[in-house]
Structures are given as structure tokens and as C-alpha cells.
Chain A
Amino acid sequence: AQTVTQSQPEMSVQEAETVTLSCTYDTSESDYYLFWYKQPPSRQMILVIRQEAYKQQNATENRFSVNFQKAAKSFSLKISDSQLGDAAMYFCAYRSFYMNYGGATNKLIFGTGTLLAVQP
């Protein structure tokens, strides 16, 4: 079974600085997807970034980028120029590439989350 581990329960960053959130995972599959989700105090889950394991290039979305190390099974999130609105819980998540019946699974396996505080 796949597992996702986030070893940093809490992180803090100064506004305008850069912070990196860590995530490691365990899987025997060769193809899969990895995600970072943001959960602000409203508790809605917001997709930040997605990485396909078969792509060597690291995904980037504006100020958010990932460092995907497939051999090390590591998937860290870098937030550049941190803003107050970035303060939230961040979850790393894994999804298998291969689908079961009807291609209907989109089962995400989440880590325990990292609570990011942004200091003004």
C-alpha cells in the first residue's frame, strides 16, 4: 500500500521569503501523480500543483514549484515570495496512475499536513 509522509507538522516563513515543505512517499508503482493541496482556515481543499511521475520536469505554478526526486521518492513544495494569504495547512497527496473498474478511481492518499504560518 502507498503511504505519504510529511515530517514537518509546522513551518514558519517571513513575508516575501521562500519556504520549502517536505513530502516523501512510498510506492511500488512506477506511474502515479503527486499533488499539493492547500487548506486555508475555511477548510476548503484547493489544488496548488500537480506532478506526473513520468515527467522529468518539475511542475511550476507561478510562485509555487516542486522538487520531484523520483528515485528518492521525494516531492517538496517551494513557495517563493511568500504572502500572508499563503498561510494554511498544506497536504501532499498521491494517486495511482492505473485505474480500476471503469477508470473510476481518483482515490487520493494524503499526508498528515504541514501548517504554514507567514509572518508579516
Chain B
Amino acid sequence: EPEVTQTPSHQVTQMGQEVILRCVPISNHLYFYWYRQILGQKVEFLVSFYNNEISEKSEIFDDQFSVERPDGSNFTLKIRSTKLEDSAMYFCATTLATNEKLFFGSGTQLSVL
């Protein structure tokens, strides 16, 4: 089965630093998403991205967050100035069409110290 690839698998950063999480979607997929899961809590939607723009975002996705697909392949999530509460597992998910199966990556565990 095709896979969504996320790098790095683990990221440790100091509070206030910028981090970029990367995702390589399945090649023909058109819809891209970021979710996050704080340890022991539910998985939460952050943002959806289609046709090079954000189509929906949650309250969590404030001005500190941004997404882009700079080179037509990688899909990135940037956190400009990390906070302790940003520590979580971040999942990228992609799909060919919105009524099709959503494929999740293995996640990036972000630890903010």
C-alpha cells in the first residue's frame, strides 16, 4: 500500500525556536491535512490544504502556524515560535479525493523544551 512519509520522526527544540515538519504525500494525492495528538489526548484537526491554499483550519492553527507546498512535492507545517504546549505528535494525512480513504503518515514527535 502507498505511504505518506514524514520527517523527522522526532524533533527536539527549544521554546521560541522555529520548526518545520515535512511530509511527502502519496504522489497523486491532492488534499493534504495536518493533525496533532498531545500525549494521552485525542487526535485534533489542525488544517486542510488544497489547490495551494488553506481550505479549513481549526482554532489551534493560529498565526504561529503556517503550511505550504513549496516544490510541488513536500507539504510542510511551520511553527514560527514554539511553545511548550506545542509538544505533540503531528500527523500528516493525504487523500486523492475527499470521499476517498485518508492516508496518515507515521507522525513527527515534537518535543519543546
Contacts and interface: CB of A to CB of B under 8 A. Distances in A.
A binds B: yes
Interface of A: 42-47, 50, 91, 93, 99-113
Interface in B44-65: 44-45, 48-51, 55-56, 58
Contacts of B98: 99, 103-106
Of residues A100, A106, A108, A111, which shows the largest number of chain B Cβ atoms within 10 Å of its Cβ? Answer: A106
Contacts, number: 66
Given A43-B89, A107-B56, A102 B44 contact: no
Of residues A91, A104, A111, which shows the largest number of chain B Cβ atoms within 10 Å of its Cβ? Answer: A104
Nearest to A46: B104
A42 B3 CA distance: 15
A89 to B, nearest CB: 10
Contacts of B95: 106
The 4 tightest CB contacts between A and B, nearest first, are: A104-B55, A104-B50, A45-B104, A110-B43
B56 A113 contact: no
Contact of A102 (B37, B42, B55, B101): B55
A101 B58 CA distance: 15
A108 B42 CA distance: 11
Contacts of A107: 33, 45, 48, 56, 58
Given A42-B106, A43-B89, A44-B107, A102 B50 contact: yes
Main secondary structure of the interface of B (DSSP, over half): strand
| Interface size classification for chain B | 20 to 34
B102 interface: yes
B25 interface: no
B48 A43 contact: no
B101 A47 contact: yes
Nearest to B102: A106
B28 interface: no
Nearest to A100: B56
13 contacts: A43-B89, A43-B106, A43-B107, A44-B104, A44-B105, A45-B91, A105-B98, A106-B33, A108-B43, A109-B45, A110-B42, A110-B43, A110-B44
A97 B14 CA distance: 41
